[in-house]
Structure 1
């Protein structure tokens, strides 16, 4: 059985959500962030040498990185119809979203957080990070025009992945200027699998 090492307020929520959406059996090992440093506990090192969450224990070994974990789950356990077929015209956009979510969608926020810690608030570095993040948010907003989900009228794993970007935006800068994103986030958060993850997975600061 799969075993998920789950850290509160982290990207492991997305893996938890996918497992719930697919209805797969899995065990959960809960980890809590340090209340002051907000870092994960040393116990994560016992699961994987990098010591990050999510970590997934599988029959093949233990792995980290939420994007890689999601890809592994889909390949090994089926996608539940949540991934476009290889010959679908939606495949290109699906793959783009899956990679945006773990690269240019979150990188500006990481740069901004580290920049603030280094005393770079208000500098050109900080302003560039803001501009990069705004560009991604504008793309999400435009892509959702006239659509219920990122791929149109069909919920997919891309919605799970990219929701984290929108959740960060809402928590850090607000998304009142992005009505399509607001409506979409409410839509995906209303799914029973999301609500089940909230109920079982513990604290998640970006849920509302």
Structure 2
């Protein structure tokens, strides 16, 4: 049995969503953040040395890191879905956006979040540079979504699953106004219309308002 360890308002929502998109049978185990530190609880820390979510177990396997988990689940259970192969015309675009999600975009948001929490003055050269890089990242995504309905092209893929967290739930930690990015906002409405996304968010974070605007 595939078991998904989920921490509220975390990147583990990607794994719940993926399982719903693939129609998999899985067990969802909820973990609650420490009320003081907002960090993972001891039982999640004890499960894996990283002490973060997501973590899955699949028989004897224990695996962390959302990108690794998504790739593992698709390779084992996906039957060719959500991850186009090398012969697909959208393969190169898929590979780019798949890696961009956690290789560039999410870390970019994280660095800016830390600077905000440190209350670094806006005129600070590092803050200005990182702010520019983040605005450029949003602009890049917006331009892409003005040309195609989904990041890899015409079809919804795991690249979308990897990216949407940064555009939505991450904004609970790093507020960001999406008004200048109409194509991203239209894209998020397409995502909101996916039944698998609706089921995943209701199962993983019931009652949490979804930041889709």
2:105 corresponds to: 105
Per-residue deviation, residues 54-91 of structure 1 (Å, max 9, x unmatched): 00112242111100100010111125522212211211
Provide closer, same or farther for how the CA distance between residues 10 and 30 of structure 1 changes in structure 2, counting only shifts above 3 A. Answer: same
Deviation at residue 146 of structure 1 after TM alignment: 3.6
Structure 1 pair 187/79, CA: closer, same or farther in 2 (3 Å)?
farther
Q: Tell me: CA distance 1:200–1:57, structure 2 relative to 1, closer, same or farther (3 Å).
A: same
SS at match of 1:44: helix
CA contact (8 A) 1:101 1:164 kept: no
Matches within 5 A, 1:30-179: 30-79=30-79, 81-122=81-122, 123-167=124-168, 168=170, 172-179=175-182
**How far did residue 131 of structure 1 move?**
1.1
DSSP-derived class of the 2:128 partner:
helix
Is 2:167 the counterpart of 1:184?
no
Out of 176, 183, 202, the residue aligned to residue 199 of structure 1 is 202
Tell me how many residue pairs correspond in the alignment: 208
Contact 2:74 2:81 in 1 (8 A): no
Structure 1 residue 107: Cα displacement: 1.2
Q: What is the CA deviation profile of residues 167-192 of structure 1, one whole-angstrom value per residue up to 9, with x for unaligned ones?
A: 23596121111111100011012100
Cα distance in 2 for partners of 1:139, 1:161 equals 16
TM-score with structure 2 setting the length: 0.90
Of the structure 1 ranges 91-100 and 109-118, higher mean CA displacement relative to structure 2 is found in: 109-118
Please give the root-mean-square deviation of Cα atoms over the aligned residues, in Å. Answer: 1.9
Q: Which runs of 5+ in 2 are unaligned?
A: none
Contact 2:101 2:163 in 1 (8 A): yes
Conserved? CA contact 1:175–1:182, under 8 Å: yes
Equivalent in the alignment of 1:4: 4
Cα deviation code 1:111-161 (max 9, x no counterpart): 122223434242222222211111111111111114221233211111111
**In structure 1, how many angstroms separate the alpha carbons of the residues matched to 2:9 and 2:16?**
12
Cα distance 1:113–1:79, how it changes in 2: closer, same or farther (>3 A)?
A: farther
